[in-house]
Amino acid sequence: MLVHRLLTLAFLFTASALLSSCEVSNLSTGGGATEVGQADKDGYLAGHLSGNLDRPEGFTSPDMQAIKALYANKGNAFIWRGRRGWTNRAKAAFAALQNADQEGLSAAQYLGIVYGLPETKKPSLIADAELRLSKAMLAYVRDVRHGRFNTRSKFDPVAVLSNGLGANNFGGWLSALPPIGKTYQELKLALSGSYGSISEKQRKKILVNMERQRWRPETVGGRRIRVNIAGQELEAFHNDRVQLTMNVVVGRSSRKTPALEDQVVNLKFSPDWSVPETIMEKDYLPRLKQDSDYASKKGFKVYKNGKKIDASKVDWAKANFKDYHFRKPPGKGNPLGGVRFSLTNGQGIYLHDTIGRNQFNKDIRYDSSGCVRVQNAPALASWIMQGQSSPMSEGEIKAAMTQKKSTFKNLDTPIPVSLMYLTAWVDGAGQLRFAKDSYGHDRWLMRKMGL
DSSP string covering 141-154, please? HHHHHT-TT--SS-
Domain 219-271+334-420, CATH: 2.40.440.10
Contacts of 62 (CB under 8 A, 6+ apart): none
- Range name among 77-86, 130-139, 182-191 with the lowest pLDDT average: 77-86
How many Cβ atoms from other residues are within 10 Å of residue 147's Cβ? Answer: 22
> What stretches of 66-165 adopt beta strand conformation (E)?
81-82, 85-86
Residues 198-208 have pLDDT tens digits of 999 999 999 99
Q: CA 450 from chain center: how many Å?
A: 20
DSSP β-bridge partners for residue 263? 416
CB-based burial, 104-130: b 16+ in 10 Å, e otherwise: bbbbeebbebbbbbbeeeeeebbbbbb
Question: How much is the average pLDDT of 190-202?
Answer: 97
Q: What is the mean pLDDT of the chain?
A: 90
**pLDDT at residue 66 above 60?**
yes
DSSP string covering 416-429, please? EEEEE--SEEE-TT
Instruction: Burial-class residue 226 by CB neighbours within 10 Å (0-12, 13-18, 19+).
Output: buried
Kindly indicate the confidence band of residue 7, based on its pLDDT and cuts at 50, 70 and 90.
very low
The torsion region of residue 135 among left (phi > 0), alpha (psi -120 to 50) and beta comes to: alpha
Q: CA 34 from chain center: how many Å?
A: 34
Give just the sign of the alpha carbon dihedral 386, 390, 396, 401. negative
Coil, helix or strand at residue 207: helix
Rounded CA gap, 237 and 368, in Å? 25
* pLDDT value, residue 144: 98
Residues 253-289 have pLDDT tens digits of 999 999 999 999 999 999 999 999 889 889 999 999 9
CA end-to-end distance (rounded Å), the chain: 28
Give just the sign of the alpha carbon dihedral 283, 284, 290, 295. positive
Question: How much is the average pLDDT of 313-342?
Answer: 91
Single-letter amino acid, residue 205: K
**pTM, 2 dp:** 0.88
- Range name among 31-40, 240-249, 331-340, 348-357 with the lowest pLDDT average: 31-40
Contacts of 61 (CB under 8 A, 6+ apart): 55
Contacts of 378 (CB under 8 A, 6+ apart): 338, 339, 394, 397, 398, 401
Q: What share of the chain is helix, strand, coil (3-state, %, to 5)?
A: 40, 20, 40
Single-letter amino acid, residue 118: P
Q: CA 380 from chain center: how many Å?
A: 24
**pLDDT at residue 11 above 70?**
no
Per-domain residue ranges of the chain: 2-175, 219-271+334-420, 274-328
CB of 406 closer than 8 Å to CB of 422: no
Residues 373-424 have pLDDT tens digits of 999 999 999 999 998 988 999 999 999 999 999 999 999 999 999 999 999 9
Rounded CA gap, 71 and 49, in Å? 8
Rounded CA gap, 67 and 135, in Å? 7
Residues 222-249 have pLDDT tens digits of 999 999 999 999 999 999 999 999 999 9
Rounded CA gap, 134 and 78, in Å? 10
DSSP β-bridge partners for residue 81? 86
CB of 358 closer than 8 Å to CB of 337: no
Contacts of 321 (CB under 8 A, 6+ apart): 277, 280, 281, 285
Closest CA to 92 of 174, 9, 189, 212: 174
Question: CB-side exposure of 92: number of CA atoms within 13 Å?
Answer: 23
* pLDDT value, residue 33: 60
Bridge pairing between strands 241-251 and 260-269: unpaired
Dihedral angle at the C-alpha atoms of 104, 137, 69, 78, nearest 10 degrees? Answer: 170
